[in-house]
Structure formats: C-alpha cells, structure tokens
Amino acid sequence: MFPSSLFPDPEEEALAAEADKLLETWNQAGLNDILSATAYNTEADTVITPYADYPASGDPKTTTSSGSIPLTLVPAPLAIPTPTLDPQHLGPVTISPIFGPTSPSTRPPTDMIIVSSDSVVFYTDEYTLFNTSSNRFGGYLPLQARGHDKTIILPEIVAAEVQVILQVVYNAEAPMDMPVGTLIRGIGWLPKYGFEPKTCIKPDTRIFNTLLSYAPLHPLEIYTCAAMHDMEELAVQASPYLLRVEPSEVSEEMSDKMGATYLLRLFSLHLRRKNVLKELLEKVPQLHNVTKDCGFNKQGELRACWNQGVAQLAMALRADTTTTEIRNTMLEATMSLRCSECLRVRDAHLNAILQDWSMASMVVVVYAGL
C-alpha cells in the first residue's frame, strides 16, 4: 500500500492497517465468498437434464477408452459449497446443527445449500431433492450453477420450518423441543416443494413418531394436521388423546381444516364411546338366592342404589370417563348395603362393566368410502 502523500496522516495509516487486518480475517473465515458471490438459482424453468447417471462420491465407475482398454474412474470428492447470498438477503449467517457441511453416513454427500429467510444455512444434496420431489423442489431444481454457487434461498420460510421439510425428506431425527405450531407449519410447506405428507410421513418414519409424541399435550392440533393431509395412520393413533376434548371445543377454523370426513370421525368416536358406557351401566345386577336375612324385596335396595349411581354418572357422562370414576361413584351409591351376598353380586357386576369399558375402542374408525 502506498501513502497518499509524502507525509501520511497517522490516523489514516491506522485505519488502513485495521482494514487490511479485517480483510485478512474475512479471508481466513471464508466470509468473502458470502459477501462477494451473488449467484443463486431464481429460474423455475430450465432445460438442463440432470443426473443421467449419478455416482456417489468415491464410488468407482468403469468405462472404456477409445482403445477398448477398461478404465476405472473415481469421481473427485464433492466440494462443500460456501453460502452465497444476495446482498439484500445478507444478515448474520448461521449453520444448521442437523444439516451441516458434514453429512452423516446415511445421507449422500452435500453439494448444495438452502438458506432460510432468517439466514440459516442447510447443507443438502441436489440429487435427493430432485429425485424425491414431484415438482423439482418447487421448480428450483436442477440448478444451473455449479460449485460454490449451488444455492437456493427460500425467502418465505424460517429456519425451523425448513428443518422440518428436510427432516421429512431425509428421515432425520427431530428435536423434541420444537413448538407444535412450527412442526405443523413445516409439514404444511411440503406440498409446495413436491412432497405429499401422507406418502412421506408413515409410522416407520422419525417425523411420524415426533408428531405422535405431541399428541398427549396437543391432541386436537395433531389430529387436525393429520386430517388436513389425510394421514389416516396418524389420525387413528392420535385419536385416543381426543377423548378428553369435547366436540364443542373444536373451533370453526379447526373444523374447516379437518374437513367433513375427519370431523365426522371425531364426533362419531365421542358418540360411540358414550353409547357404549350407557349400555354397560343400564344393566342392573342380578338377584342372588334368597337368604334368611335378604329376600327378594330386600334385594330391591341393591337395584335402587345401583340406579342412583348410574344417574349420577349419566349427568357427567364423557367419552373419557375413567374406570376409577365409575368405580368410586357406584361404590359410594351402594355403601348403605349390609348384605354380604348383595355386595358380592355388586362387585362382580361392577368389575365386569369396568373390564368391558376398558376394552372398548378408543380410536376413530376409518370407514370405507369416508
């Protein structure tokens, strides 16, 4: 660097030295690639025919030279791209902890990046996204750029939702502390990028188990998500947790998202469960043989007390009425009984009811044609 005059200003020299030092730091950190490169794919329609025969990095591929001598070509390791952002999207860049530059052995080598709206970088591979998507990943693929310029920016989607999309595509482990709304919104983006949730999210996938783990605390949200994307397996397995949610608690917005079919299944589940319990409780205990202390007339007291207990339960009948509630209510209603035979008959009858109730179906029924 040459001085601007024969007698340079000390302050100018200090500023120039600081600038040189900062530039050297940027070069070492690779930030110049981010700040200077602006090329990324924005064209939905291309005419490139990609991946005619895509070998994995390091896998040998045999070919033949012009002299018919077999040659073994080993592709060079794929270069890990450096994020290239348009200046208008520039911000503090962070790298996804799950989709970093070093891919696990279960995933193909990374050769492109996706950048979320909040400037989080996800390292992925173009081959997987192109071949598993039904619409070329929303029209972004194949990328015309190569090397460090293989970048897609998704200005509409925040990092947590991009992560959900990629977790579905790669069947990657999902963090358990993600808000349920974020998880559901991420799944909602899948159709836009060519992934059908009902096809991708099956019981043997990690994201299915993650969704199901939220069902105990957020049953209505998970069931609604399953209904929106017609994921029957998830709806069935999440439905037992809906028993404590009264149909009156379903908002108009949620009912619109569920659609008529899944809303009917939810209402039918509650109605069916209540009817089963009513039928069980309507059966009165049988009379026992007449004894010296308890004749037929005396045994009428057992049935009267039993009916009183049934009336108490009927006033607060719910689809998720527990066996403990039933037992306590019926024992309290018949506590005045003194005949040992009446108590024996009561206990046998009550135990049979509790067993049948515990075995009653607690899941929505998938009707043919619905």
- Over residues 285-298, the mean pLDDT reads 83
Range scoring the smallest mean pLDDT among 67-81, 161-175, 208-222, 342-356: 67-81
Lowest mean pLDDT among 66-70, 81-85, 147-151, 309-313: 66-70
Q: Does 5 score more than 50 pLDDT? A: no
Other CB atoms closer than 10 Å to residue 282's CB: what's the count? 10
Does 134 lie in the same domain as 92? yes
Residue 136 lies in a domain: yes
112: tokens are 């492109």
Q: Are 73 and 24 within one domain?
A: no
Residue 146: inside a domain, yes or no? yes
Residue 144 and residue 42 in one domain: yes
DSSP for 102-140?
S--TTSPPP-EEEE-TT-EEEEE-HHHHHHH-SSHHHHT
Beta partners for 114?
122, 152
pLDDT value at 370 more than 90: no
pLDDT at 151 over 60: yes
Instruction: Please report which confidence band the pLDDT of residue 222 belongs to, taking 50, 70 and 90 as the band edges.
Output: very high
- Structural domain includes residue 272: no
Q: Which of 193, 214, 240 is the last residue of a domain?
A: 193
Residue 235 located in a structural domain: no
Q: How confident is the model at residue 11 (pLDDT cuts 50, 70, 90)?
A: low
- Smallest CA-to-CA distance from 336 within 280, 310, 298, 369 is with 298
Q: Domain boundary at 132, 160, 193, which? A: 193
Together in a domain, 31 and 167: no
pLDDT tens-digit profile of 175-189? 778 999 999 999 999
Q: What are phi and psi of 70, to 5 degrees?
A: -60, 135
- Note the pTM of the prediction, 2 decimals: 0.71
Within 13 Å, how many C-alpha atoms sit on residue 326's CB side? 23
pLDDT at 68 over 60: no
Distance CA 355, CA 96 (A): 50
361 three-class SS = coil
Do residues 60 and 103 both lie within one domain? yes
Confidence category of residue 77, pLDDT binned at 50, 70, 90? very low
Q: What is the pLDDT of residue 243?
A: 93
Average pLDDT for 35-54: 39
Average pLDDT over every residue of 21-33: 50
Chain-wide mean pLDDT for the chain?
80
Q: What is the DSSP string of 299-344?
A: HHHHHHHHHHHHHHHHHT--TT--HHHHHHHHHHHTTT---HHHHH
- Per DSSP, what are the bridge partners of residue 153? 115
Q: Render pLDDT for 203-221 as a digit per residue (tens, 0 to 9).
A: 999 999 999 999 999 999 9
Inside any domain, residue 42: yes
pLDDT-derived band at 17 (thresholds 50, 70, 90) equals low
Does 297 lie in the same domain as 314? yes
Q: Say yes or no to pLDDT of 127 above 80.
A: yes
pLDDT for residue 39 is more than 50: no
83, 160: one domain: yes
Helix, strand, coil % (nearest 5) of the chain? 50, 5, 45
d(CA 295, CA 293): 7
Q: Mean pLDDT check: name the lowest of 9-23, 215-229, 318-332.
A: 9-23
Show Cβ contacts of residue 350 under 8 Å, excluding neighbours closer than 6 positions. 326, 327, 330, 331
Give the β-pairing of 120-124 and 112-115.
antiparallel
Q: Are residues 97 and 179 in the same domain?
A: yes
Q: Are residues 28 and 43 in the same domain?
A: no
Which range has the worst mean pLDDT, 75-79, 142-146, 259-263? 75-79
Q: Is the pLDDT of residue 78 over 90?
A: no
* Residue 184: inside a domain: yes
Domain that holds residue 150: 38-193
Instruction: Tell me the pLDDT band of 300, cut-offs 50, 70 and 90.
Output: confident
pLDDT of 140 over the 70 cut: yes
**Angstrom distance (rounded) from CA 179 to CA 73:** 48
Q: Is residue 324 part of a domain?
A: yes
At 104, give phi and psi (nearest 5°).
-65, 165
Nearest to 293 by CA among 336, 345, 335, 339: 339
Work out the pLDDT band at 27, boundaries 50, 70, 90.
Answer: low
Residue 214 falls within a domain, yes or no?
Answer: no
Domain count, the chain: 3
How far apart, in whole angstroms, are the C-alpha atoms of residue 80 and residue 101? 7
Of 193, 223, 243, which residue constitutes the final position of a domain?
A: 193
Task: List the single range of 84-93, 157-166, 292-301, 313-322 with lowest mean pLDDT.
Answer: 84-93
Residues 42 and 189 in one domain: yes
Shared-domain flag, residues 152 and 23: no
* 46 and 114 both lie in a single domain: yes
SS3 for 172-231, per residue?
CCCCCCCCHHHHHHHHHHHHHHCCCHHHHCCCCCHHHHHHHHHCCCCHHHHHHHHHHCCC
